[in-house]
Amino acid sequence: MQNKVEELRKCIGLNQEDLAKALKVSRQTISSIETGKYNPSLELAFQISDFFKKPIEEIFIYERGCENEKR
Amino acid sequence: MQNKVEELRKCIGLNQEDLAKALKVSRQTISSIETGKYNPSLELAFQISDFFKKPIEEIFIYERGCENEKR
DNA sequence: CATTTACGTAAAGGTAACTTTACATTTATT
DNA sequence: AATAAATGTAAAGTTACCTTTACGTAAATG
């Protein structure tokens, strides 16, 4: 899943460490999310969403497999 | 974190097993989410969102601590 | 050139999310 | 009363998320 955390973070002139502090997670967590090592938990996604004041869907891009429109 | 999975599921007349199959997870995962045992991963939250055709924020209610409007 | 700042990454460990299997309970049906 | 359908739950195992500590590197600064 792609995300715009790095872009949004740089947009407001923060480094990873400061964003990490603001979100109360480790810098490695931010780094790992930005580099796509793993996705945040739903809770952390909400915190990030709140911080940037954007909906989760605008920050995290879920790649929908074009599998005949499930359902 | 609260969620409306059970409500939305019943609204379309599905049982936990059928929803689980549609989402390709186990029935226990659905049960655990509905009873609040744990939150889904962000990926599963997106799948659930897609399935019910509602944004994540309308299905999962993140309890924001009233901590002086972080940031 | 030496130091600082920012970032990536790796190892080791803890907890959360998810699995399969299985059993118990409740509600409905026959 | 017996059976089936739907749900809750528990145990044991795997993988993902997140932590602390730490090291390497590249770019900027003194």
What CATH number is given to the structural domain containing A39?
1.10.260.40
Number of domains making up chain A = 1
Q: Is residue B69's pLDDT more than 60?
A: no
Per-residue pLDDT of chain A (71 residues; tens, 9 = 90+): 999 999 999 999 999 999 999 999 999 999 999 999 999 999 999 999 999 999 999 999 998 875 544 33
Average pLDDT of every residue of chain B: 92
Closest CA to A61 of A28, A26, A33: A33
The boundaries of the domain holding residue A53 are 2-61
pLDDT digits 0-9 by tens, B17-41: 999 999 999 999 999 999 999 999 9
In a domain, A66, yes or no: no
**Contact B43/A62, CB-based, under 8 Å?**
yes
How close B30 gets to chain A, by Cα (Å)? 16
CA-to-C1' distance for A9 and D30, Å? Answer: 28
**Contact A50/B56, CB-based, under 8 Å?**
no
In a domain, B53, yes or no: yes
Q: Point out which residues pair with B61 in neighbouring strands.
A: B2
> What pLDDT was estimated at residue B29?
97
* A32 Cβ contact list (under 8 Å, min separation 6): A38
Query: What residue of A is the nearest CA neighbor of B19?
Result: A71
In a domain, B55, yes or no: yes
In a domain, B27, yes or no: yes
